[in-house]
């Protein structure tokens, strides 16, 4: 950008949409949130078949969010139309290409002098990320990207909505939680959700937390979170946690699970393996029929016909169903 359009970075930082609206080689299109997802890490997409190519930005009440999304999609435009960039990106995974656009957008909105004024020499704390957001006009996602660049260990900076669902994440050396994944039951997020009225930037810290993936949880991570304008921002690191005097890497502890379990509803004993479904509500393995402790509280086997019925089918709370009485 400095080479091809000298002086444009400052104008993009002030108002990216206004600046890009005057460019003849691209157009800005405001689209619905779902339609603009396009596989990007942001709520937008790049349409290179339009004439001129379109930077699609999802409608949002947040001007900061529009800025970050528009610049992210401009990154894709530059990647495709600059021969040197296009050659460099050949054969790279889409996630790497997308992360480069996140980094481009974040660096335009948050120059080094602004970031250095909020982050100390080590890994940023959750409060540092909130201070960066307050000291700039950049989106929370841009602040998350710049914070992840300053991690001194493997870890992730994650932005959650008020229900504990991942809105955005940037990572260094670990797999970040998937956008849209529910992390409300991980130790750090669960603790933070208990105090939604806590002032912005005031940290919530737990000794160990995890990232929940589709099939398993990560190993233990040091975790700190803080509210940021209605969202929760968290710093998750394997070591060098800035809020700890001593934070060495910890070995993941594999929880012990019984080899066999018994179902009190169908009275069968079944083997518990790595593929056995575990109930997200009570944490107990489900039997082959699908029963767990949750269903035990709602159903009961009859002591005469030995069929399983809802609790309401047992008059007086007894153990014999209404059909057998």
* pLDDT one-digit tens code per residue, 98-150: 889 999 999 999 999 899 888 876 789 999 999 999 999 899 999 999 999 99
- Provide the 10 A C-beta neighbour count for residue 64: 19
- Which tens digits make up the pLDDT trace of 198-211? 999 999 999 999 99
Residues 6+ apart with CB under 8 A from 143: 106, 110, 129, 132, 133, 136, 233
State the alpha helices, DSSP H only, in the chain.
Answer: 8-20, 63-81, 83-89, 94-109, 112-116, 126-134, 140-149, 187-193, 293-296
For range 218-243, the mean pLDDT? 95
Residues 6+ apart with CB under 8 A from 231: 140, 159, 160, 161, 162, 167
Q: Are 192 and 271 found together in one domain?
A: no
Top pLDDT among 68 and 279 is at 68
Among 204, 237, 270, which residue terminates a domain?
A: 237
Look at residue 22 and tell me whether its pLDDT is greater than 60: yes
Query: Considering its fold, how many domains does the chain have in total?
Result: 3
Q: Which domain holds residue 80?
A: 8-105
Residue 246: exposure state from Cβ atoms within 10 A (0-12, 13-18, ≥19): exposed
Residue 251 has what pLDDT? Answer: 66
Look at residue 36 and tell me whether its pLDDT is greater than 50: no
Q: Is residue 3 part of a domain?
A: no
- CA–CA distance, 285 with 278 (Å, rounded to integer): 4
Q: Are 177 and 267 found together in one domain?
A: no
Q: Is residue 244 part of a domain?
A: no
- CA–CA distance, 272 with 283 (Å, rounded to integer): 13
- Give the mean pLDDT of the chain: 86
Among 202, 237, 272, which residue terminates a domain?
A: 237
Residue 35 has what pLDDT? Answer: 44
Q: Is residue 324 part of a domain?
A: no
Residue 39 has what pLDDT? Answer: 55
């Amino acid at each position: 950008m400095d080479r091809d359009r000298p002086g444009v970075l400052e104008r993009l930082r002030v108002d990216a949409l206004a600046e890009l609206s005057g460019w003849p080689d691209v157009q800005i299109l405001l689209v619905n949130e779902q339609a603009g997802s396009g596989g990007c890490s942001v709520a937008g997409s790049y349409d290179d078949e339009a004439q001129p190519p379109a930077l699609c930005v999802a409608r949002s009440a947040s001007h900061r969010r529009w800025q970050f999304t528009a610049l992210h999609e401009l990154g894709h435009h530059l990647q495709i139309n600059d021969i040197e960039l296009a050659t460099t990106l050949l054969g790279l995974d889409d996630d790497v290409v997308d992360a480069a656009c996140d980094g481009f957008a974040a660096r335009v909105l948050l120059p080094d002098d602004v970031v250095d004024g909020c982050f100390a020499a080590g890994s940023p704390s959750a409060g540092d990320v909130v201070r960066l957001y307050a000291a700039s006009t950049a989106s929370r996602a841009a602040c998350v990207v710049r914070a992840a660049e300053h991690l001194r260990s493997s870890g992730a900076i994650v932005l959650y909505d008020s229900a504990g669902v991942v809105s955005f994440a940037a990572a260094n050396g670990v797999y970040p939680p998937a956008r849209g994944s529910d992390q409300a039951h991980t130790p750090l997020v669960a603790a933070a959700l208990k105090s939604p009225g806590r002032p912005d930037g005031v940290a919530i810290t737990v000794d160990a937390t995890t990232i929940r993936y589709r099939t398993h949880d990560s190993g233990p991570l040091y975790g700190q979170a803080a509210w940021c304008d209605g969202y929760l921002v968290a710093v998750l690191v394997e070591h060098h946690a800035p809020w700890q005097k001593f934070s060495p890497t910890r070995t993941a502890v594999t929880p012990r699970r019984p080899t066999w379990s018994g179902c009190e509803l169908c009275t069968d004993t079944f083997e518990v393996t790595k593929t056995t479904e575990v109930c997200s509500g009570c944490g107990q393995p489900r039997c082959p029929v699908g029963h767990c402790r949750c269903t035990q509280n709602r159903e009961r086997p009859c002591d005469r016909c030995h069929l399983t019925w809802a609790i309401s089918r047992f008059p007086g709370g007894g153990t014999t169903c209404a059909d057998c009485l």
